[in-house]
Amino acid sequence: MEILITDKQLDEVLEDVFDVYGYDFKSYAKASMHRRINRLIAIDKFPSFTEFRYRIRTDKNYFHRFVEEITVNVTEMFRDPAFFTALRTEVLPAIATKPFIRIWHAGCSTGEEVYSTAILLKEANMLHKTLIYATDLNPDVVEKAKSGIFQLDRMKQYSENYIASGGKADFSSYYTAKYDRVIFNEELKKRMIFATHNLVSDGSFNEFQLILCRNVLIYFDKDLQQKVFDLFDKSLDSLGFLALGTKETLRFSPFIGRFRQLDKMKIWRKIS
Amino acid sequence: MAQDQLNSKIVVIGGSAGSLEALLDLLPALRVDLDIPIVIVMHRKTAPGSPLVDVLAIKSSLPVCEVEEKEPVKNGHIYIAPADYHLLFEADHTFSLDVSEKVNYSRPSIDVAFESAAEVYSDGLTGILLSGANADGTHGLKVIGELGGVTIAQDPDTAEISYMPEHAINNHVVHHIMNVQQLAVYINSL
Ligand SMILES: C[S@@+](CC[C@H](N)C(=O)[O-])C[C@H]1O[C@@H](n2cnc3c(N)ncnc32)[C@H](O)[C@@H]1O
């Protein structure tokens, strides 16, 4: 029978991680944490929970692996094409008149979403006057995002998503293929700024016309979600937009009165 | 996690290819005053606005809804796992969603939902595996059994596609084999 950690053991590991390394995962939704840690204990073949806990406390390199494995980095380009259609047709036109635009991808993972947004901006002729800030708590994924290098075998799916989102150009014109990888054009990358930023502990660092934070909040408990909404509220321009994942909502937040939701989309616009 | 939980009951149903037919027979046969949650995890296309919820709601006198993240798991409701997310259960009986890697080529994966539900509901959980052409669900049923829950497979002779329930039965993780009528009687008695 595999090792399934108890709630108490989970709390112990998360306390250790906070004490030793300063990373605060204590307000994350527990069910996913349970599953990721059970899985990590199994794939790294720890004979007991105690040994797993000891290793994390004492081995900094293993702690990096822990962060890499318990955070979920799965992402793709133009995921949920209908969402990108709404960005293209409703959000970008509304901010296009600004002389200078700032966009924040919070929890950008390996960057697929960031390059998708850059492509939309280029096609709307707005890229040259936009800066896209892309942040994640995990330094490894931020490095990957910065490189702009992705697997060639994913491009067929991404190209289909791009077309489904209303893309009319030749998708392959945005990258150069080399062996089994592709590298996205410098023109897109030039307008991106990558940094590590922890939504739990780091504050607001600029004012944005659009903040995208998709499929990150599902991993937080309700209190932490509120804290992050507060951070986004502070970081949004007076008529700025906030975009969440398909199953995430601002509905239960006290801020809801100050935002108006776009028809059927997980996009809200600040109205005051 | 299980020890400190109240002994509440829940039914989690996993289905893949051919399971819609079984559900369309099962849901109308459930009693109106059923006082436990039913959670359905079905492999399906990720097309947005997929009509699965509507199709099932027409057949049911209990409220049918797609799961929202952090929503409480309420008795007398039928919940459908959303496409393209794994479904997890929190110790305080709320739902969580997760976009991590597919399991058994599937997201939602039945194994993932079964295992998570078993950790929270232990012997209050009944896991039911319906028709399908995938091995998903077998490992989840095993965990349910180990944590004290009840495991049921649809009778392969009555399943549109027998592979999935048969796979579980052959792996000796199934307590009961039932056709849809028997499933309804069983759930109505909980
Ligand atoms: C599932 S990915 C989402 C990627 C992309 N936004 C999408 O929807 O496809 C979740 C990301 O959130 C990041 N994350 C988790 N906790 C975080 C935190 N406290 N601060 C910043 N990023 C965090 C993870 O490292 C991971 O890369």
Best mutation site among B39, B96, B103, B146 for testing chain A: the one with the most A CBs within 10 Å?
B96
Q: What six digits make up the tokens of A153?
A: 């075998």
pTM for the complete prediction?
0.94
Question: Do you know the residue count of chain A?
Answer: 272
Q: What is residue B4's predicted lDDT score, i.e. its pLDDT? A: 42
Share of chain B above pLDDT 70, in %: 94
Q: What is the value of ipTM here, to two decimals?
A: 0.93
Note whether residue A75 is domain-resident.
no
Residue A247: give its domain's CATH number: 3.40.50.150
- Residue A98's CB is within 10 A of a number of other CB atoms, namely 14
B134 with B105: CB under 8 angstroms?
yes
Specify whether A40 is located in the same domain as A91.
no
Query: What is the total count of domains within chain B?
Result: 1
Residue A77 in contact with ligand 1 by CB distance below 6 A: no
Domain end point (choices A70, A96, A115): A70
Instruction: Say what the alpha-carbon torsion angle B103, B106, B110, B113 is, to the nearest 10 degrees.
Output: 70
Specify whether A40 is located in the same domain as A164.
no
**Nearest CA-CA distance, residue A82 and chain B, Å:** 8
Domain end point (choices A18, A47, A70): A70
Specify whether A100 is located in the same domain as A30.
no
**Nearest CA-CA distance, residue A100 and chain B, Å:** 34
Cis before residue B108, ω within 30 degrees of 0?
A: yes
Tell me, yes or no, if A29 comes closer than 8 A to chain B by beta carbon: yes
Note whether residue A107 is domain-resident.
yes
Specify whether A163 is located in the same domain as A88.
yes
Specify whether A186 is located in the same domain as A241.
yes
Q: How many CB pairs under 8 A join A and B?
A: 65
**Nearest CA-CA distance, residue B39 and chain A, Å:** 17
Tell me which residues of B are annotated as active site.
16, 43, 136
Structure confidence by residue, pLDDT tens digits, B129-149: 999 999 999 999 999 999 999
Domain end point (choices A48, A70, A92): A70
Q: What is the DSSP string of A21-52?
A: H----TTB-HHHHHHHHHHHHHHTT-SSHHHH
d(CA A116, CA A118): 5
Note whether residue A143 is domain-resident.
yes
Note whether residue A76 is domain-resident.
no
Task: Supply φ then ψ for residue A260, to 5 degrees.
Answer: -120, 130
Q: What is residue B3's predicted lDDT score, i.e. its pLDDT? A: 42
Residue A245: its chain B contacts at CB < 8 A?
99
Residue B100: its chain A contacts at CB < 8 A?
32, 36, 72, 74
Specify whether A27 is located in the same domain as A157.
no
Return residues 66-85 of A near B (CB < 8 Å): 72, 74, 80, 82
Could you list the residue range(s) of the whole structural domain that residue B137 is in?
3-188
A85 with A161: CB under 8 angstroms?
no
Note whether residue A137 is domain-resident.
yes
- Report the separation in Å between the CA atom of B184 and the middle of ligand 1, taken as the mean of its atom positions: 42
Q: What is residue B2's predicted lDDT score, i.e. its pLDDT? A: 42
Ordered per-residue pLDDT tens for chain A, 272 residues? 678 899 999 999 999 999 999 999 999 999 999 999 999 999 999 999 999 999 999 999 999 999 999 999 999 999 999 999 999 999 999 999 999 999 999 999 999 999 999 999 999 999 999 999 999 999 999 999 999 999 999 999 999 999 999 999 999 999 999 999 999 999 999 999 999 999 999 999 999 999 999 999 999 999 999 999 999 999 999 999 999 999 999 887 888 889 999 988 999 999 97
For ligand 1, pick from A109, A157, A210, A267 the residue to mutate: most ligand atoms within 8 Å of CB. Answer: A109
d(CA B68, CA B70): 6
Query: What is the total count of domains within chain A?
Result: 2
Specify whether A131 is located in the same domain as A249.
yes
Residue B66: give its domain's CATH number: 3.40.50.180
Q: What is residue A1's predicted lDDT score, i.e. its pLDDT? A: 63
Which band of pLDDT confidence, cut at 50, 70 and 90, is reported for residue B5? very low
Note whether residue A175 is domain-resident.
yes
Specify whether A58 is located in the same domain as A110.
no
Q: What six digits make up the tokens of A269?
A: 């616009």
- Report the separation in Å between the CA atom of A138 and the middle of ligand 1, taken as the mean of its atom positions: 8
Specify whether A203 is located in the same domain as A230.
yes
Residue B69: its chain A contacts at CB < 8 A?
218, 247-248
Specify whether A47 is located in the same domain as A13.
yes
d(CA A16, CA A10): 10
Specify whether A255 is located in the same domain as A161.
yes
* Interval B162-175 mean pLDDT: 98
Could you list the residue range(s) of the whole structural domain that residue A190 is in?
81-270
C-alpha closest to that of A33 among B90, B71, B7: B90
Note whether residue A109 is domain-resident.
yes
Q: What six digits make up the tokens of A210?
A: 């659009």
Specify whether A126 is located in the same domain as A212.
yes
Residues A169-178: contacts with CB within 8 Å, 24+ apart?
A169/A123, A174/A115, A174/A119, A175/A150, A177/A152
